[in-house]
Amino acid sequence: MDIKEAKIPYLNRKAEFRAELFKKPDLIYLFFELTRSCNEKCFHCGSSCAPGLGHGPDKEAFKAVLRDVKENFDLKKVQLCITGGEPLLYPDFAELLGYAVDQGFHWGMTTNATLITKDVAKMLEDTRMGTVSVSIDGLRDTHDRQRGMKGGYDKAMRGIENLIERKAFKHIQVTTVVNHKNIVELDELYKILDEMDIDSWRVIGIEPMGRALDFPDMLLTPDDQRYLFNFIREKREQGIPVNYGCSHFLGLEFEREVRDWFFYCGAGTHTAAVRVNGDITACLDIEERPEFVQGNIYKDKFSDVWFNRFQVFRQPLSSLCKECQECEWEKWCAGGSRHCFDYDNNKQRVCFKDILF
């Protein structure tokens, strides 16, 4: 039996697991979108964040969600994921996360790290942040240009070093969004990150969503995609902790070769989120549409929404797409990732069939 054939039983079990989760979801990741404001303006931002945009619900509304989740879920299984915008711009950040820890939550954050001074790093230690993902999207000039902040690369790198210096966090990760222009810098960027005491490097492809839809020339070509996955696999074969993101079914050659798990989109079965306006939804990367709003924390209990709604997410995405239904890979792919689906035309924007397999 070759390696591709050996993967089939695992993919079959994953398909069975998906079917069970549609019936009995299991909350693992709860995202709080604290703000849409950001001190950078990344061209690929899925949420179109920018300086001066509004913050999320007030701290008391967020705290009420935390109490509800504590009462109705097993906190040993739930990871609180803090995001934005730039979450450190949220006025009551330290108080809210301190409260979360007092309630028994484990939490991590996605950040651009430009605001992580030594004092902020100590605050994050004091509020017992466990994990952090920092965005580095190329070498210095490329990073600054793509993220709309001159000096942003140096500030982010200092922020990472300030975190490392504390020796207090379980996992420090760098995330790089790869596009058609910065893909040529992967090897050089790897050399820089390899010298730093980070725990992993998450390398993901730019997705046709949010602000990135305005820059079609930056999207990855089929050749770019093949290069990207071969790059990640090569580094992993060398024992280097590089991971592709959670997105997309990759076929028998690359499934489990470029990340530590087999593909599964957990939006609405493993993952839920509270947006800046209080709306309750699934993965924050999914296009904002009325049918995906399952409730609002100002008028609904999060637990009631999770247990009694979310049906729109608890069926195969392929049920919307005739082409997907007729595909020989549908059992394992189930229509792919929900965040890059074209819901107006009911088809997947990103499919690796005929590119990787």
The tokens describing 302, both together, are 């999060």
Contact 324, 333 (CB under 8 A): yes
φ/ψ of residue 129, rounded to 5: -60, 135
What token pair was written down for 256?
């489990």
Tokens of 130: 């466990």
Beta strands (DSSP E) in 136-290 are 171-178, 200-205, 242-244, 271-274, 279-281
Q: How many CA atoms lie within 13 A of 86 on its CB side?
A: 20
pLDDT tens sequence for the chain (357 residues): 799 999 999 999 999 999 999 999 999 999 999 999 999 988 888 777 878 888 999 999 999 999 999 999 999 999 999 999 999 999 999 999 999 999 999 999 999 999 999 999 999 999 999 999 999 999 999 999 999 999 999 999 999 999 999 999 999 999 999 999 999 999 999 999 999 999 999 999 999 888 888 889 999 999 999 999 999 999 999 988 999 999 999 999 999 999 999 999 999 999 999 999 999 999 999 999 999 999 999 999 999 999 999 999 999 999 999 999 999 999 999 999 999 999 999 999 999 999 999
In order, the DSSP letters of 57-74 are S-HHHHHHHHHHHHHHS-
**DSSP helix, strand, coil percent of the chain (3-state; round to 5):** 40, 15, 45
Q: CA of 296: how far to CAs of 97, 231, 301, 305, in Å?
A: 21, 42, 8, 9
